[in-house]
Amino acid sequence: MQKSERPEWLTVVPRSSEALSELKEMFARLNLHTVCEEAHCPNLYECWGGGTATLMLMGDVCSRACRFCMVKPGRPNGHLDDFEPENVAYALSKMNLSYVVLTSVDRDDLPDGGSKHFARTIRAVREKCPGMLVEVLIPDFQNDLDSLKTVVDARPDVIGHNIETTMFLTRRVRDPRAGYWQSLSVLRNVKKLDRRIFTKSSIMVGLGETEEDVGLAMMHLRNVETDFLTIGQYLRPSPRHLPVVNYVSPEQFRKYREMGLRMGFKYVASGPLVRSSYRAGEYYLGSFIRNETPKQST
């Protein structure tokens, strides 16, 4: 579909709820951030209204400046909230969740990229919320294997790292310090370090890519044994960000899902409003991870 005015399938009607207000108040009280708010996610009202949110670690200032992302770029200057891991675990213990996603800004200002902070948070959640499935959506840690191993050793159920876009669009879309092959290397190294952990990645479409470009990205992800894939429509968060080149039709999203499943992904979520952490509990809750994890542990 050629670019025109935003199609009706991308229309989201904001609605408030008591659950949403309570979550906002609790996160503010504990000085916690959510990617839902910082990245202006279109699904905030749906997910938060159902008691679901994706927590963003290590502040709200990112050391990188990708041209698609609404999270504030800047210099975090080495600051970390030492109470954040315990506050995250406490907040989650008050929510009726079986699955949580923990993500973060990039923290190139820290020697380990924030990997120890991730690991502390994972372990705190495990202790406070036994039985909860934990997914982490991590930065690339500048491809430092020791930092990645720190997160892997904390044993989250899923480690996600997004390639974000296709190979040919990477330089135009992402910060120069990010890289297509570097991201694929992160996903490959997770499997080398611990094959029991599921891996996940995400692609935005509508930036000018072709179907063949998306298919090639899927093939590369499968070559590094990525388990789960999400594909969603890029939506321009502000005039200073990259423009939308085209709005991809629901039919094309269904085609991408079928392509991915044929290539061997264990699960593909593909749709206009799908995001890398969109309704993670609904997508994965109990159905695949809980059934497959014991088999992989043998």
Residue 20 is predicted with a pLDDT of 62
Domains by residue range for the chain, with CATH: 13-296 (3.20.20.70)
pLDDT at 286 over 60: no
Top pLDDT among 237 and 14 is at 237
Instruction: Give 181-199 pLDDT, tens digit per residue.
Output: 999 999 999 999 999 999 9
**pLDDT category of residue 287 using cuts at 50, 70 and 90:** low
| pLDDT of residue 208 exceeding 60 | yes
Q: What is the DSSP code string of the chain?
A: ----SPPGGG-------HHHHHHHHHHHHTT-EEHHHHTT-TTHHHHHHTT--EEEES-SEES---TT--SEES--TT---TTHHHHHHHHHHTS--SEEEEEE---TTSTTTTHHHHHHHHHHHHHHSTT-EEEEE---GGG-HHHHHHHHHT--SEEE---BS-GGGHHHHS-TT--HHHHHHHHHHHHHH-TTSEEEEEEEE-SS--HHHHHHHHHHHHHTT--EEEEEE----STTSPPP--PPPHHHHHHHHHHHHHHT-SEEEESTT--TTTTHHHHHTTTTHHHHHHHHT-
- Please spell the DSSP secondary structure of 251-275, one letter per residue: HHHHHHHHHHHHHT-SEEEESTT--
Considering only 56-65, 139-148, 275-284, which range has the smallest mean pLDDT? 275-284
Confidence of residue 298 (pLDDT cuts 50, 70, 90): very low
Give pLDDT, residue 47: 54
- Residue 5 CB: number of other CB atoms within 10 A? 6
pTM, two decimal places: 0.87
Predicted local confidence at residue 108, as pLDDT? 97
Cβ atoms of 51 and 23 within 8 Å: the answer is yes
Quote the mean pLDDT of the chain.
Answer: 86
Give the model's pLDDT for residue 1. 46
Determine the Cα–Cα distance for residues 281 and 277; give it in Å rounded to an integer. 9
Rounded-to-integer distance, Cα 27 and Cα 166, Å: 34
The residue with tokens 């997004």 is 162
- CB-based contact 11:235 (threshold 8 Å): no
Strands 54-57 and 33-34: antiparallel
pLDDT (tens digit, 9 = 90+) per residue, 11-42?
655 555 565 667 677 777 887 776 655 445 55
